[in-house]
Amino acid sequence: MQLTMLLALSYDVGPANNARTSVARTVSRAISPVAVESWFDGGMRLNGADTLTELKEDLAELMNSKNCGPIMIRLSWHDAGVYSTGKLTGGCPNAAMRFADGGEGAFGANAGLPDVAVGLLAPIAEKYAGKISNADLWALAANVGIEEMGGPSIPTRFGRTDAASSAESVESEQGRLPDGDKGLDHLREIFYPKGFDDKAIVALSGAHTVGSCHADRSGFDGKWTEDELRFDNSYFIEMLKKEYVLGEASPGNPQYEHAKSGTIMLISDLALLEDDAYKTHVERYAADEAAYFADFTAAWVQLQENGVAGLRDRL
């Protein structure tokens, strides 16, 4: 069954989960555009800094009101993750999933993304039409979601071009996106042609610290960690501490389960413990969240920018 490392990341609609966010937004609105332009995004002066500030605020409000950070991570990952330089070549983040008549919008691996994730972003995409491409918006939404859930602040560069039709999709998800029911050799076969080493594979896998699997999308059931809306290093901690038993999701697909907490791990998750080249990073990230955040940020930015050139820091 085709599914990806981040395939099943989803969300549960619920109340805002970060009370501090509203205070920060109130403060930011009280600051003049000149002041914002001088310090926003680490002091970098941006064209349209006030627009970018407002856009990020709108995205943060969406993440906290709908608890949809995890599915935005999945949207960005599946948009960019088709890139490859191996047996299959090409692919880039171009928001081709917007088109449901075929191509990436019809991939089984992308179930739930064209309707749920793109649908949630539709009002914001319409509000900022002509100011940001859909592909850039998807990348930015994921990065805002990560930060709103407690994760690292990830820089976003701009300039991705949107596909004009489904014809600009890659030919298939097969060989481009990893299967959750396969092991280490498969992970390397998928990720090495994208320019990632074993450390980066482990770091990217750590995004499973948020979200959950849904049988109607991935064929698996359950969340990886006990707090699926908190972006931290719990994925690695729980992987090392818990004992999982091989079971089955409701469609009959194999998955590892922890009975007491109800959390799961996929075959591709626990495969990270089978080789010291991977396990050493699992152990390091479990012990040092800051190290995990640093390595995840580097790998994630590379993933989001693979296959595109000429990106800019300014919106």
What are the catalytic residues? Answer: 78
Q: Where do the H-state alpha helices sit in the chain?
A: 19-30, 33-43, 49-66, 69-80, 118-127, 134-148, 184-191, 198-205, 234-241, 267-270, 276-287, 289-305
Residue whose tokens read 């979601």: 145
DSSP state of 90: E
Helix axes 289-305, 198-205, angle to 10 degrees: 100
As a whole number of angstroms, the distance between CA 90 and CA 161 comes to: 15
For residues 158 and 175, the answer to whether their CB atoms sit within 8 Å is no
Structure tokens at 137: 């918006």
Angle at 247 between CA 242 and CA 248, to 5 degrees: 135
Which contiguous run of DSSP H or E holds residue 84?
A: strand 84-85
